[in-house]
Amino acid sequence: MTDLTRLSEQLLESDFDSIPIIDLTDAYSLDVRKRRALAEVVRDACLNAGFFYVRNHGVPLSVVDEIFEQSHTFFDLPAEIKSTVDINKSDNFRGYMRLLSSNTNPDNKGDRHEAFNLGLDPLVHPESFEQSEKEGELKHSENLWPDQKDWEGAETFKQANLEYYRQVLTLGYKLFPLLALALNLPENFFEDKTRHPAAIMRLLYYPALDGKEVNELMPGIGAHTDFECFTILRQDGVSGLQVQNRKGEWIDAIPTPDTFIVNIGDQLQRWTNDIFVSTRHRVLPTISKDRYSIPFFFGCDHDVPLIPPKTCITEDRPARYDVMTAGAYVHMRLSEIYANAKE
């Protein structure tokens, strides 16, 4: 069995200059040896870059094309229609966010993008809402959807979002067993911890500068790490995402046809006692062409305590963090980021 703590320490002395592409075909194999071999490849990426592309992921291209089309249509709407689902009307970070209304990096003046946020929906996962009152600081709540009376395309927009959400949720559930195997844990380790997942999805629109001067204090998104266990990102063909390696160099995450980018988040880094790496990344302002992307932040159930498994601690590497529930941790981080949206 691989000594994860020793391997993690060894990798601190190395670095990465590219993001690996991983074929997920064997994630669906009935042969556990193939799944274990794939998990070893995933482990290498999680220990080193913390980022990897996935192909042969099982999400239909038609579903992806439809959600991007609907994203374009939504962000082209007049401000008065988008404001009917403004995030200020939500008690749980759902809805529309105007340009510069979030500030991921406190050293900056704002993030130059618009967003539409949604989470687990009762039409997708009704059982999660039956127990949401027991959750604590972060709870499941209904999404804010545009009304058909305000926009005739509202229902089409909603259904496209829900179908994409279902498909990427399924992909996320396929990744958890690989992560468990990569951590030398039983393949079903995360199964009872992701029954009511805190999975947040965002439609993001980065308007092109179109001749406006670049302001370094107003990036697409400032340098940051993500909060949840991992993020599943779909980007369009416009570049902008960069990942920072240990030397401080910024590596381009070049758009690659029919792939998702997966990156480890702070929740999983904390849970694994810093074995897996949550890597800083940013989005540069787009110069001449609008950019669209869809991150899907997959966290575990709100009430799960983030206690590192035995494979991630040793006598020389004891637990590094105080225990928090997953919901309390993410709520704390979201509150910091979205404070500006309430002003």
Q: Does 258 reside within a domain?
A: yes
Identify each DSSP E strand in the chain by its residue range. 21-23, 51-55, 95-97, 114-118, 197-206, 221-224, 230-235, 241-244, 250-252, 260-264, 281-283, 291-301
pLDDT for position 157: 98
pLDDT for position 93: 82
pTM over 0.75: yes
pLDDT for position 10: 57
Alpha-helical segments (H) within the chain: 4-11, 32-47, 61-75, 79-82, 126-130, 154-182, 266-271, 326-337
Domains contained in the chain, number: 1
Q: Does 185 reside within a domain?
A: yes
pLDDT, averaged per 10 consecutive residues of the chain (343 residues), comes to 67 74 96 97 94 98 98 98 94 89 83 94 64 49 91 97 97 97 97 90 94 83 93 97 94 97 96 95 92 96 94 93 90 69 44
Q: Of all helices (H) and strands (E), which one includes residue 18? A: none
pLDDT for position 287: 85
Find where tokens 């994203």 sit.
71
CATH of the domain at 87: 2.60.120.330
pLDDT for position 106: 80
If one counts every other C-beta atom within 10 angstroms of the C-beta of residue 76, the result is 10
Query: CA 20 from chain center: how many Å?
Result: 18
Q: Does 137 reside within a domain?
A: no
pLDDT for position 337: 65
pLDDT for position 134: 45
Q: Does 138 reside within a domain?
A: no
Q: Does 188 reside within a domain?
A: yes
Provide the residue range defining the domain that includes 227: 4-132+143-341
